[in-house]
Structure 1
């Protein structure tokens, strides 16, 4: 797609889109309230932020989405009770729709939240012309929706692992009876105390369970909306957040507009004093009513080159993750290039606390299983992959090798931890295959399975340039140990669906932290998470025990030791090859004010502004 075509998509094609909700009048006032909360003149230009994402969304229902891009959208539409402070480093929790941080019992098993009165959902016909206030019951309904089998929640494991009494039993009843889930049944794990107060009780007592209440998957939904549009929750989101979905062209364009009923929230962020750019921005924005933008237009452009060129031609206001093939010119020695400095570009370089990994389906007859021969095959394949080349070539040095699943920036990451996971040893890989009978039995130059049948690895990935470059390195790696590999290319949403259903033999994917803790990464191998986070479908009792033990402990040396031991089991059985922890660079145009990246807080749009005069002068 050429840059001009991108501009046409963002501007001309909008008129042909079907509006999902009533749009604000074209003369709506800008969001640039003054520090006293006064609105700007009615004829002020609308403030619009445009950018592109590289992976298509799957939908907008907090109970159903699990991918980063869809969850970013839902975070702007739906309000979780808590949020992470936008600029605080290290990160910290803050109240969002609740009066204060929850009261947590000494054993971490009971959390009590008090919702602020006077918060309202965006208008929707489901409310029959009445303003609909957010109440405590909405959060209990939101939690229950994850247990409803009809929603096939990809985040259910987070709640089930916390052991909320009565909810899993309610789910099982619905599965066995094949009757609708009983949302009106009271359960011990959820208690409505009054209109604005609710309690969540767990049997586990996880000290970090509270972090989940800052995540978009617990963003409040209204029961009336879900019931008014049966089966359409993914396409008809209605929340209390700063944004509402105005237009949507699936896998092409997402348009968010300011929610006119959004409560009074004012910019009050405190940046790192050493970050002069953000100190100046925060001072400039302090006291402004949020959101400051009127509209956010998000195009889906999967190929890196047109997405990047559109930014350089000023068609986009920011680029989320500068494509790695352009980084040598954009960020030589990890510093912004002089020509871009002269243009006033802003670069934000950060670790996303993520893991890129390639998993083996443990239920697959070729690569799965727990017997020594199957373990040897997976470990040999992992040893054949040269992470130094992966980082140096397609990743352009913007990553570090993974020793295990837990990434930097989270508790559980041990910089001294070293393992076979990062090693490249072709000789050892060949020896393992020879030892367990993976030899060339028919003389065609390729190894066969021990029973003489062909050994063929099928690796699923996406068709963009970066993934193809990674696939080439996997091809060379397995050629080097005489193992055939073929690639299956598909769109990311379809690959995700197939991976969740256990239909892929191998898939390369990323996993990002939602809180500064490594538990979610250990959860990638936890048996009960099969079909959700655990795409490898790994289920080892010894690992499951370690995972459950570390989850109950407070942060400290004892928990760290258990997390390291769990990582060693992942290395030993190799349900996935943990490849790298990535480093990202975002870039914003000079007219964007206040952009920074908090990896745990998805909705950054509410905290930034644009200089419309400078933007208009630069627009093509």
Structure 2
């Protein structure tokens, strides 16, 4: 089993190219204040203020979690690797600031009548070893992801191609819906064209020549992926220190023009030293821990850019398990089946207090898993507001039969048996421990005997235990970075392995399918469907939805042309340059 349908992004059942399990986003990625403000001297204003771009120099990009090293888009699982991949890979389809698809390395045409998508590769694109990008590489990526031995998370980004299901089951040797017209043109015949087809269809080629002779099952652990990865992006990998650092150098033959920078160093740092590293110039750019935002904002050599993120933080309930053989979630954990219990536990959490105390208010409290930056965001007045109300929580618990029958200060379950709640959360930031204790105290204040499940867990371990449905995991705090399209299939459908709550709801499945129907080509219709879905999930509450963050990007003033949006700060990195390039 692979982990983290990530966070960024990227990935799962339908429209998950950028769905990704996130690190400790409350500290690592703030969310919530006015995301429209851009710091002076950064972003699009930088070039005019700092003069003409200069060639040369290197920058250091920091992240606060160790990376796995799955450096191919088809295999990566979390934003730790995704942020590296943004420097070394490009997509056939890009996403603009309005979260709409646009041509990247290829022009595309969707024929709804014929159920086809045609990609036409642009000229002059080569892999980092000098080999040209061809449609063979595009087809190869589909073949790898659809292969029976593929264990990654992108299958639902290719299963709409005709013949993929039969190929995946080993019934045929090729995928019938792939037609390579020539080296630049490939036509995909689909089972159906949906409103989000271009956003959902896999758009990252794989270097077929580079992976030659490697079995699909062996690719994730191969040197070609982990030690010597190649891409078509502006920077190529020069050196890797596993889990700690990746040195990249510019790819002079980059198809959009030679990058200004000589190179980029991706470096893993401890979140606690973020402010000091930025102040000392050891770090040029990073997604700043929101807990350190006031200090970072005061730094003379740093611009702090706020950007509403396409993500959300939550506390999940383990309602069941994943049946791998049948490929479905089974909601069979009796402990949290009582919706009134789940609602009581939501009212017991001081969400705004968490946001203010640990993220400097950088976020917006939400009632459903759709952030305000999305066009499908529901008017929150239409949703039940689980505002902090411990007295209401106590009333709901009493009504549901969770009462203290032996006067020990803790509530028993309706059968009079001991009722305890395990809570899992990630390590990795300076506020991880105190925030966890804050949440536990909230539940304890209403008589729920809640405790940490074996202490804080490292990012990868955390998602491992969630995916494997470890019996000791009962509630957990996580975060998701979402795709540009609001289709909730990848996280919430009954047959989604990334549905970590293991929530099964027939009405939810029907609404999700309705949001991809022919009628849903009308965006207003589609939004209304997703609003109804948000009302349903807000009422059923398989997760306690906390807040949508506002990311804070800290950028050293020497670094110019950094453009941010709700996806990332790593847009057009070939245009980044440093003011002191000639001094290095």
User: Contact 1:403/1:417 (CA < 8 Å) preserved in 2?
Assistant: no
Distance, in Å, in 2 between the alignment partners of 1:143 and 1:603 is 26
Give a deviation string over 1:163-221, Cα, whole Å, max 9, x none.
333212322338xxxxxxx7x51323x322222211233334222221246xxx63211
Alignment of structure 1 residues 160-559 onto 2, 5 Å: 160=159, 163-173=160-170, 184-188=173-177, 190-212=178-200, 218-228=203-213, 230=218, 231-232=221-222, 234-235=225-226, 236-263=228-255, 265=256, 289-303=257-271, 305-321=272-288, 323-331=289-297, 337=298, 340=299, 343=300, 345-363=302-320, 369=333, 374-420=338-384, 422-463=386-427, 464-487=429-452, 488-503=455-470, 504-515=473-484, 517-520=485-488, 523-529=490-496, 531-532=497-498, 534-552=499-517, 553-559=520-526
Q: Structure 1's 380 and 369: CA in aligned 2 closer, same or farther, altered over 3 A?
A: farther
Confirm or deny that 1:61 pairs with 2:72: yes
- Residue 469 of structure 2 aligns to a residue in which SS? coil
User: Contact 1:375/1:574 (CA < 8 Å) preserved in 2?
Assistant: yes
- Residue 560 of structure 1 aligns to a residue in which SS? helix
Distance, in Å, in 2 between the alignment partners of 1:325 and 1:117 is 45
Distance, in Å, in 1 between the alignment partners of 2:388 and 2:507 is 27
User: Contact 1:120/1:134 (CA < 8 Å) preserved in 2?
Assistant: yes
Higher relative contact order (CA 8 A, sep 6+): 2
Q: Identify the range of structure 1 (411-420 vs 546-555) with the bigger mean alpha-carbon deviation.
A: 411-420
Distance, in Å, in 1 between the alignment partners of 2:567 and 2:144 is 23
Alignment of structure 1 residues 125-164 onto 2, 5 Å: 131-160=130-159, 163-164=160-161
- Residue 489 of structure 1 aligns to a residue in which SS? coil
Aligned length: 509
Question: RMSD between aligned alpha carbons?
Answer: 2.8
TM-score (norm 1): 0.76
Give a deviation string over 1:244-268, Cα, whole Å, max 9, x none.
22222222112222224423x1xxx
Alignment of structure 1 residues 16-35 onto 2, 5 Å: none
Distance, in Å, in 2 between the alignment partners of 1:373 and 1:437 is 13
User: Contact 1:147/1:153 (CA < 8 Å) preserved in 2?
Assistant: no
Confirm or deny that 1:110 pairs with 2:116: yes
Structure 2: stretches of 5+ with no match in the other structure = 1-52, 323-330
Q: Structure 1's 302 and 159: CA in aligned 2 closer, same or farther, altered over 3 A?
A: farther
Give a deviation string over 1:570-607, Cα, whole Å, max 9, x none.
12221111100101221211211111213336743323
Large movers: runs of 4+ above 6 Å = none
Deviation at 1:45, TM superposition (A): 8.5
Structure 1: stretches of 5+ with no match in the other structure = 1-39, 124-130, 175-181, 266-288, 332-336
- Residue 382 of structure 1 aligns to a residue in which SS? helix
Deviation at 1:114, TM superposition (A): 0.9
Distance, in Å, in 1 between the alignment partners of 2:549 and 2:372 is 10
User: Contact 1:421/1:578 (CA < 8 Å) preserved in 2?
Assistant: no
Distance, in Å, in 2 between the alignment partners of 1:254 and 1:212 is 29
TM-score (norm 2): 0.80
Distance, in Å, in 1 between the alignment partners of 2:487 and 2:583 is 42
Matched residue, 1:17:
none
Q: Rg bigger for which structure? A: 1
User: Contact 1:370/1:573 (CA < 8 Å) preserved in 2?
Assistant: no
Deviation at 1:62, TM superposition (A): 1.4
Deviation at 1:377, TM superposition (A): 2.1
Distance, in Å, in 1 between the alignment partners of 2:375 and 2:334 is 29
User: Contact 2:180/2:186 (CA < 8 Å) preserved in 1?
Assistant: yes
Give a deviation string over 1:372-405, Cα, whole Å, max 9, x none.
9522222221121111211211121111101211
